[in-house]
């Protein structure tokens, strides 16, 4: 996959992640380019977005509401965590299924 396709897919994934503002800004594009330059696999970025989203959505109902995510850089520490965690893909599939159920998908 070339850099243009990678960046497009990362930005599309970010835009579709619940809790984000849905807008792409210049720093978001630059962040995606940096991920490509670092050689971060697209699957790891997708896993990190799912993990961060799950953490935000599956928190206590009486916790104060969280603000909208306005920058893809918000996910930087989670991407680094996923890269070093060694968690297997089954865990992230489980997270995605939980998120889909929360959103009423099948």
Kindly report, residue by residue over 47-96, the tens digit of the pLDDT.
999 999 988 888 888 989 899 999 999 999 999 999 999 888 899 999 88
Model confidence, pTM = 0.87
DSSP codes, 30-51: HHHHHHHHHT--HHHHHHHHHH
Q: What residues contact 25, with CB distance under 8 A and at least 6 apart?
A: 71
Radius of gyration for the alpha carbons in the chain, expressed in angstroms and rounded: 14
Where do the H-state alpha helices sit in the chain? 3-16, 26-38, 42-57, 76-85, 89-102
């Amino acid at each position: 996959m070339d850099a243009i396709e990678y960046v497009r897919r990362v930005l599309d994934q970010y835009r579709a992640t619940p809790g984000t503002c849905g807008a792409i800004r210049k720093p978001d594009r630059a962040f995606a380019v940096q991920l490509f330059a670092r050689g971060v696999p697209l699957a790891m970025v997708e896993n990190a977005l799912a993990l961060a989203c799950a953490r935000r959505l599956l928190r206590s109902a009486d916790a104060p509401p969280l603000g909208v995510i306005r920058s893809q850089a918000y996910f930087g520490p989670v991407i680094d965590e996923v890269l070093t965690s060694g968690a297997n893909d089954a865990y992230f599939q489980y997270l995605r299924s939980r998120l889909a159920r929360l959103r009423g998908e099948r």
